[in-house]
A and B are shown apart, each in its own frame.
Chain A
């Protein structure tokens, strides 16, 4: 006569969906902050999607030729002209930072405060170097005459799409660097002993999302 005997041992995904929503309990069994971070990231997904869709719209309707990103973002390193190299380096820096963040989350749940702190600081430093490279890229393009209202290479819409999309992403990275530094310092001080280390996973969600957005910007803005 107990509910335990009737309970299926393995829930199918639909049964789990049904019981999560229908039973008189919390729908999402997870820390409040983690769920709120997910909801925020969902809303941020829409913001970046709308930026990228707007960019697609102005690019498809432009009658002037679109500047060749492969050449615009090329660099000459040691006499070698390498197309899109700066963006490739920025991509690798961001992926490296995502890796160190994933390890930080892992060590945080193992309770290794020192390693967590060091990996989070490494993540923040990689993020800061990404922003530094972006500042270099912006000043290079501004120097070459690219403005939100026009540029010497082709379609005027290139500048506005570029500054808006990479600028908004850069702000997210900068905010992430500050967020990571604050949480890392609190981890070092032992602020979360007893509370648990979900906060590191939540910070990680934000950081991986910033990397995720870059995957789409890289594909649609730089490789199109």
Chain B
């Protein structure tokens, strides 16, 4: 218990890992900017934007915010509730589709 408590409350890690992740975040940001610069469109654009976004978010959360080294109980507490947002996005997308089609139907646009 003492050993694990020490590990979780003292987030000391070699400085090299921060520098590597820092460099990686720069590369990923450049890549996502390139998606716009070269005007990729359609599914390719969305796939690339989402891949780079989730990679960046993952590195920030797990390394910079140290969540990768935290105990499983904290990971569950922080990562499970946001799954509900997926449901909200799904519902709102359906609602938006419905609004869009009614506007086209009744506003004659």
Contact = CB atoms under 8 A, between A and B. Distances in A.
Contacts of A53: 85, 88-89, 92
Contacts of A201: 11, 66
Nearest to A103: B18
A83 B38 CA distance: 10
Interface string A184-224: 00000000000000100100110011011001101100111
A17 interface: yes
A106 interface: yes
A97 B8 CA distance: 25
Interface residues of A, number: 61
A63 B103 contact: yes
Interface string A56-80: 1111111110000010000000000
A171 to B, nearest CB: 20
Nearest to A41: B78
A102 B19 CA distance: 9
B59 to A, nearest CB: 10
A42 interface: yes
Nearest to B76: A17
A61 B53 contact: no
Interface in A89-104: 91-92, 95, 98-99, 101-103
A38 B78 contact: yes
Contacts of A29: 4-5, 8-9, 71
Contact of A83 (B1, B36, B52, B57): B36
Given A38-B78, A92-B26, 13 more contacts: A46-B85, A61-B99, A63-B100, A70-B36, A84-B33, A102-B18, A106-B15, A109-B12, A204-B64, A215-B57, A215-B60, A219-B50, A219-B52
Interface of B: 1, 4-5, 8-13, 15, 18-19, 21-22, 25-26, 29, 32-33, 35-37, 39, 45, 49-50, 52-53, 56-57, 60-61, 63-66, 71-74, 76-78, 81-82, 85, 88-89, 92-93, 95-97, 99-100, 103-104, 107, 109
7 contacts: A29-B8, A53-B92, A61-B99, A92-B26, A101-B64, A106-B13, A219-B50
